[in-house]
Copies of this chain bind each other. A is one copy, B any other.
Amino acid sequence: MSSQQTMTYAWVVARTRSRNACKTRADLLSAARRRFGTEGYDRTTIRAIAADVGVDAALVLRYFGSKQELFAAAADLNLDLPDLTAVAPGRLAGALLARFFAVWEDDETFLALLRASMTSESVAETLRQVFAAQVEPTLSAVVPDHPRERAGLVGAFIIGLATTRYALAAPGLAAMDRDQITAWATPVVDQLLTGPAPPVPDSAAVRQLPRRRPERQRASLLPSVP
């Protein structure tokens, strides 16, 4: 793969700033974020991260203890959302989206967390805590009612944008630039934050009437030729 590049890089660096533990540690964290962000948790190997920086794999474990601890150190996410109570009501969505674009594109911390959360329950829990500790309070402060529902929907939309654009690289979203996406997403976020709540019963009162039919048995009993 890129063994030659890695070797050269390691050689140059080795002569340039050899034996600098602090820098090496920071480089390892950066390389780990890049690997975890692009390949996910399982496909990322300690050996690959070490090779990116040009050190031995054993050193990585010596610094961070284990792969999980390395990931926890690399995926420590701080959204640093603005205080929306100090923002003009008409610019709520714009401020939010601008901050999220920065989080997404500054480094690969968010992407690493997002990718890993799809296959690891513990990482998913980490992401849920990020949401509960940073997103929910920020949004609840500027919302007229139903804070849990509104925050959840806005969070889903934000996660959807990130997933579709950065992880999935779907052509629709990947082809648009920041300003276009912001323009389209702003009214959506505005509506979810401050628009009227939908006329829906919160309990199971009306959930009885138009129940759908069996929805066709998708048991897939017809395999193709073996």
Contacts and interface: CB of A to CB of B under 8 A. Distances in A.
A87 to B, nearest CB: 15
Nearest to A174: B223
B174 A155 contact: no
A153 B41 CA distance: 28
> Which among A172, A176, A191, A219 has the highest number of chain B CB atoms within 10 Å?
A172
Given A119-B40, A119-B118, A159-B160, A220 B149 contact: no
Contact of A161 (B98, B156, B177, B222): B156
Contacts of A199: 183
A2 B120 CA distance: 19
A224 B34 CA distance: 12
A156 B155 contact: no
Interface residues of A, number: 88
A22 to B, nearest CB: 6
A26 B220 contact: yes
Contacts of A177: 204, 207
A200 B222 contact: no
A128 interface: yes
Q: Which 5 A-B pairs have the closest CB atoms?
A: A160-B160, A152-B172, A40-B119, A183-B200, A42-B42
